[in-house]
Chains A and B, each alone.
Chain A
Amino acid sequence: MDRALFPEGVERCSFGKFALWMGFITAFFLFGLFAMLLIFYKGIVVTGLDNYFGFGLWITFDLAVIALGAGAFFTGFLKYILRIKQLENIINLTVIVGFICYSGAMLVLTMDIGQPIRAWFGYWHPNVHSMLTEVIFCITCYCLVLIIEYVPLILEQKQLNKIPFLHHLAHNMHVNMALFAGIGAFLSTFHQGSLGGMYGVLIGRPYAFREGFFIWPWTFFLFVLSAVGCGPIFTVLVCTFMEKLTGRKLVDFKTKALMGKIAGTMLTVYIFFKILDTWAWANNYLPSVGMTFDQMFYGVIYGKWLMFTEIILCGLVPAIMLITPSIRNNPTMLYTAGILDCIGVTLNRYLFTVQAIAIPVLPFDSWQTYAPNWAEWATSGMIVAYGFLVMSLSYRYLPVFPQERMLNK
């Protein structure tokens, strides 16, 4: 019944099936929405956060989705600035993934702050020395950029595009897209870095603190690199997941492998520096503040296995897999490496967020542990559900995949 709205020349499932799917996702969304309203009403006392863990699942979630959403700016940068033409096959998807990740992260942030009504104080009373100010500025600005990048895609919807004004608008926006891609790349690099900087400047948290270059601690650069090392491959994973779900080919494997190569290259650079950084931190910085490597870990919940999983299993291993053409060109291996890569970066964000503040710095203090409660999971789940909804609608009605017609002939 909604066939008239489909992109030109592609097949979609029946409306009933689609409605069922959307209903299923909406249930999750509504549950999260309930948790969110409860949080706005009662405050974040309903979460599992506490005096020791002011940051928890939400911040980890934010950092992770922002890193994973980095495919948008980096692919945009490569396509529009470095003119790698092949990437146009997947560029729309990166924009949508990026948009979902960033808008979702902003929503989580408004929940996460104790005074959501004052969320705009970040602009009104900015502290130029705070990495978080930079994050607030760049994330909101970049989210606007992503909207600008997303809008022409919406306007290209078959029926909307028939309206001459919208058609022209979309066209004009497309023409200037390189400009936005450039702005996006600039903004995104900075806030990815600033997110790392947020932790690197914590002089009171030996797990996170790093020295650095000029005003930027090393974590600034490591976060940028790790984001571009996982963002592109995350888009590939999303694409492949959609292909499995819909049973249709959406992007050719060559493009996916190229994205894998891009991510792999960046991940390799990243992991090289990450290992160097960790080595220097453990052998130089920690002793200088009287602490040892062993003191940074505790039991199973904050054990060393986490760091080894992050750096070796989910860092070094996927990096090697992705830069080795023979491995990368095997679809199963590519996706496996991609999954490991994304887990590694997410784990990195988790460790910097949670482990860093779980460590008792005062010698007479003790380890505290943190587990998110239902309200945090539900709201995080809401963002995922929101992403599924946006993606489902976009897939069904918008011309996201230029190759789809050709690949499914």
Chain B
Amino acid sequence: MKAKEFNIKWGMVIDLDKCTGCGACMTACQVENNIAPMVDASNKLRTLSWMLVYELSNKKAAPDAEIAYLPRPCMQCGNPACVPVCPVVATDKNEEGGIVSQIYPRCIGCRYCMAACPYHARYFNWEDPVFPKGMEKALSPNTSARPRGVVEKCNFCHTRLMKAKDKARQEGGNPEALADGAYMPACVEVCPTGAITFGDLKNPEHKVHELAKNENAFRLLEKLGLAPQVYYMSKREWVRKLGDNYAATGKAGAAKKHS
């Protein structure tokens, strides 16, 4: 299968050596996307977290133990597993930039896309969004609230892309060639260490263009051939090795048969 190509490819390079796991990205994501707070957020099998910070461990005993934090937005795969399976075209990868859309009014909530996504980036809205009394006054204008029964996910704060393009038009710029930093998702904007670099992977003027080619850059589960637009990087080998499955060969960089 061949990845869908566009002239613009919005992507991230997340430097795992700079992520302290503080969680500001998760908070900012909830705020931007109007995700209602959950009373029992400890049941991770029922929570909604478009952005989720995983904790990675080198599995060594103290004092040699090391951990790393891995923020996981939607990978916006070039060859998404979720898009072709949707029976009602509620999700598509059809726009310049390559962001995988999710159309909430179209989704019937069959959850086939969730079964398809190995990154667990898709979440089913188990309950109607209920904000503590008054908190609905602090809703963000950028994302409509979703009813229960639909699947939702990160869309790189797509409204911000629309706004950045509008701004470029108003200022006489080219909306199809936004400057580096003119458009960035909420998680990128708040990250206190700047661990997430965001931009057009195909635009040489954007930092991500070079960063994605860094020797320490990798993508999650590359061997499955989903061609994510989110890259990670780490100088720590054990972290890089946790980006894909190597049990079969025991070494990094096994043949990529399925891309």
Task: Tell whether, in the assembled complex, residue B226 and residue A203 are in contact, meaning their CB atoms are under 8 Å apart.
Answer: yes
Q: Is the CB of B258 within 8 A of A203?
A: yes
Alpha-carbon separation in the docked complex, A291 to B48 (Å):
29
> B223 to A288, Cβ gap below 8 A?
yes
Number of inter-chain CB pairs below 8 Å: 183
Q: Is the CB of B247 within 8 A of A292?
A: yes
Give which listed residue, A52, A363, A364, contacts B45 with CB less than 8 A: A52
Query: Is A129 part of the contact surface with B, judged by Cβ < 8 Å?
Result: yes
> Are B111 and A127 in touch, CB under 8 angstroms?
no
What are 22 A-B contacts with C-beta separation under 8 Å? A43-B127, A49-B111, A51-B45, A54-B111, A114-B151, A118-B88, A118-B109, A122-B108, A125-B89, A126-B89, A130-B86, A198-B112, A201-B85, A203-B79, A204-B81, A204-B221, A205-B115, A286-B248, A356-B115, A364-B70, A365-B54, A368-B45
A50 in contact with B45 (CB, 8 Å): yes
Q: How far is the CB of B229 from chain A (nearest CB, A)?
A: 15
A-side interface residues toward B, CB under 8 Å? 43-45, 49-52, 54-55, 112-115, 118-119, 121-122, 124-127, 129-133, 135-136, 198, 201-206, 286-292, 295, 356-357, 361-365, 368
| A286 partner residues in chain B, CB cutoff 8 A | 248
B189-232 CB mask vs A (1 if < 8 Å, else 0) is 00000000000000000000000000000001101111000000
Residues of chain B within 8 A of A292, CB atoms compared:
247-248
Residues on B with beta carbons closer than 8 Å to the beta carbon of A132: 85-87, 110, 112
Task: Give the CA-CA distance A118 to B225 in the complex, in Å.
Answer: 32
**Cβ of B76 under 8 Å from chain A:** no
B108/A113 in contact, CB under 8 A: yes
- A55 — which chain B residues lie within 8 A by C-beta? 111-112, 115
When distances are taken between beta carbons in the complex, the residues of chain B under 8 Å from A121 are 87-88, 106, 108
Q: Which residue of B lies closest to A54 (CB)?
A: B111
**Are B225's CB and A203's CB within 8 A?**
yes
B249 within 8 A of A: yes
Residues of A within 8 A of B118 (CB): 204-205, 361-362
Q: In the assembled complex, which residues on chain A have CB atoms less than 8 Å from the CB atom of B127?
A: 43, 45
Q: Find out whether the CB atom of A295 lies under 8 angstroms from the CB atom of B245.
A: yes
Q: Contacts A113-B110, A114-B111, A130-B87 given; 13 further ones with Cβ under 8 A? A: A45-B148, A49-B111, A51-B47, A114-B151, A115-B147, A126-B89, A130-B85, A205-B118, A288-B248, A289-B223, A292-B247, A362-B221, A364-B54
Q: Does A290 lie within 8 Å of B248, measured CB to CB?
A: yes
A375 to B81, CA, bound (A): 30
- From A50, A51, A113, A130, give the contact of B109 (CB < 8 A): A113
Q: How far is the CB of A212 from chain B (nearest CB, A)?
A: 12
Contact A288 B257 (CB under 8 A): yes
List the B side residues contacting A51 at CB < 8 Å.
44-47, 114, 120, 123-124
A62→B220 CA distance, assembly (Å): 33
Docked-complex contact B116 and A290, CB < 8 angstroms? no
Within the complex, the shortest CB–CB distance from A87 to chain B, in Å, comes to: 35
A88 to B84, CA, bound (A): 42
What are the 9 tightest A-B residue pairs by CB atom distance, in nearest-first order? A114-B109, A114-B149, A54-B111, A204-B118, A290-B245, A50-B45, A361-B118, A287-B248, A54-B114
Q: For residue B241, which residues in chain A have a CB less than 8 angstroms away from its CB?
A: 363
What secondary structure prevails in chain A residues at the interface with B?
loop
Interface presence of B6 (CB below 8 A): no
> Which residue among A43, A112, A204, A361 has the maximum number of chain B CB atoms within 10 Å of its CB?
A204
- For B255, what are the chain A residues with a Cβ–Cβ distance below 8 Å? 288
In the complex, which residues of chain A have a beta carbon less than 8 angstroms from the beta carbon of B32? none
**What's the nearest-Cβ distance from chain B to residue A40, in Å?**
10
Contact A288 B258 (CB under 8 A): yes
B125 interfacial contact with A, CB 8 Å: yes
Q: Does B135 contact A (CB under 8 A)?
A: no
Separation of A119 and B90 alpha carbons in the complex (Å): 13
Chain A, residue nearest B254 (CB) = A290
Digit string of B36-61 for contact with A (CB within 8 Å is 1, else 0)?
Answer: 00000000111100000010110000
Q: Which residues of A contact B114 (CB under 8 A)?
A: 51, 54
In the complex, what's the smallest C-beta–C-beta distance from A272 to chain B, in angstroms?
Answer: 26
Would A43 and B148 count as touching, CB distance under 8 A? Answer: yes
The CA-CA distance from A204 to B57 in the complex, in Å, is: 23
A47 to B, closest residue via Cβ: B126
Contact partners of A126 in chain B: CB under 8 A? 87-89
Q: Among residues 57 to 113 in chain B, which have CB atoms less than 8 Å away from a CB atom of chain A?
A: 57, 70, 79, 81, 84-90, 106-112
Separation of A79 and B151 alpha carbons in the complex (Å) = 44
Q: Which residues of B contact A129 (CB under 8 A)?
A: 84
Q: Give bound CA distance, A104 to B180, whole Å.
A: 55
In the bound complex, CA of A275 to CA of B118 (Å): 26
- Please state if B223 and A114 are interface contacts (CB–CB under 8 Å): no
A204 touches B226 (CB 8 A): yes
CA distance A206 to B257 in the complex (A): 13
For B113, the closest partner residue in chain A by CB is: A54
Residue of B nearest to A295 (CB): B247
Given A114-B150, A115-B107, A132-B110, CB of A204 within 8 Å of CB of B124 = no
With a cutoff of 8 Å between Cβ atoms, the chain B residues found around residue A127 in the complex are 84, 86-89
Which A residue sits closest to B109, measured CB to CB?
A114
Separation of A274 and B154 alpha carbons in the complex (Å): 38
